[in-house]
Amino acid sequence: MKAVIFDLDGVITDTAKYHFIAWKKLAASIGIQFDETFNEQLKGISRMDSLQRILKLGNRLNDFTIEEKEKLAEQKNNEYVKLIAAITPQDLLPGIASFLKELKDSKIKIGLASASKNGPSILERLQIASYFDTIVDPGQLKKGKPDPEIFRAAAIQLKIIPNECAGIEDALAGIQSINGAGMFSVGVGVPLEAQPDWRVKSTGDLTLGELKMHFRQKNL
């Protein structure tokens, strides 16, 4: 195992709650209500795809032009950016700081494969940007998760072949993306239908020793 590629939201920090607040406000402004169960479907999904799912939920898929949809997505993002301004290193999920340090000390490369265009600024706020050897720019991708493109791109940027990489995700679409890329997948609290190579309940269960052991077992 030469690299570990992280998802951001739900693995490094819990930004899902801010996405939820921002989308709820935007949806309410166009007469659509949704709850936390529906919000699960938006995890790991790009901004525009999330908007499409919300419009579909409210039966309003054909009510807006492309320009209007872009405006709606921008409004949501403006709200989201205001909310994430409050993020500090205290918002790192349990165990992530020590896990990143373990990886760095062992010279294992670290990548970010987040669908979020706000990823780099969130890493700065969490004060962990310097740990990352590469960050995939989601704006350059043709397809979002569950397509494997984002995890493949991270491996290409790191110049490491996919089967020497592990990917860590909290969303079903993300695990599908890692598996499709041919990497070892770690699922943090993922739904039952997801099929990670190693399933953990919380980020606090992530240690380099355990990860290496499960990685080796798969590659025997």
**Residues near ligand B16, by CB under 6 A:** 7-10, 19, 42-47, 50, 77, 114-118, 171
| Residue 118 near which of Mg ion, ligand B16, none (CB within 5-8 Å, type-dependent) | ligand B16
Shortest distance, CB of residue 154 to Mg ion, whole angstroms? 14
Residue nearest to Mg ion (CB): 10
Of 7, 35, 91, 133, the active-site residue reads 7
Of 9, 35, 170, 197, the active-site residue reads 9
Binding to Mg ion in span 155-174, by CB under 5 A? 170-171
The number of beta carbons lying within 10 Å of the beta carbon of residue 154 is 29
Residue 203 near residue 94 (C-beta atoms within 8 A): yes
Q: Residue 188's beta-bridge partner residues?
A: 200
Measured from the CB atom, the residue of 150 and 211 that comes closer to ligand B16 is 150
Measured from the CB atom, the residue of 19 and 125 that comes closer to ligand B16 is 19
First to last CA, the chain: 13
Residue 123 near residue 19 (C-beta atoms within 8 A): no
Please give the torsion angle defined by the CA atoms of residues 50, 55, 56 and 62, in that order, rounded to the nearest 10 degrees: -130
Q: Among 10, 144, 148, 196, which residue sits at the site for Mg ion (rule: CB under 5 A)?
A: 10
Using CB under 5 A as the binding rule, whether residue 196 contacts Mg ion is answered as no
Residue 196 near residue 187 (C-beta atoms within 8 A): yes
Q: In angstroms, what CA-CA distances link 103 with 57, 83, 89, 110, 178? A: 41, 30, 18, 8, 19
Pairing of strands 3-6, 109-112: parallel
Measured from the CB atom, the residue of 68 and 106 that comes closer to ligand B16 is 68
| 9 a catalytic residue | yes
Measured from the CB atom, the residue of 39 and 184 that comes closer to ligand B16 is 39
Residue with tokens 């590629």: 5
Measured from the CB atom, the residue of 105 and 140 that comes closer to ligand B16 is 140
| 137 a catalytic residue | no
Contact characters 70-99, Mg ion, x per CB under 5 A: ------------------------------
E-strand ranges in 84-181 read 109-112, 134-135, 165-169
Q: Among 6, 9, 20, 178, which residue sits at the site for Mg ion (rule: CB under 5 A)?
A: 9
Using CB under 5 A as the binding rule, whether residue 7 contacts Mg ion is answered as yes
Distance CA 39, CA 53 (A): 10
User: Residues in the site for Mg ion, rule: CB under 5 A?
Assistant: 7, 9-10, 44, 170-171
Active-site residues, by number, are 7, 9
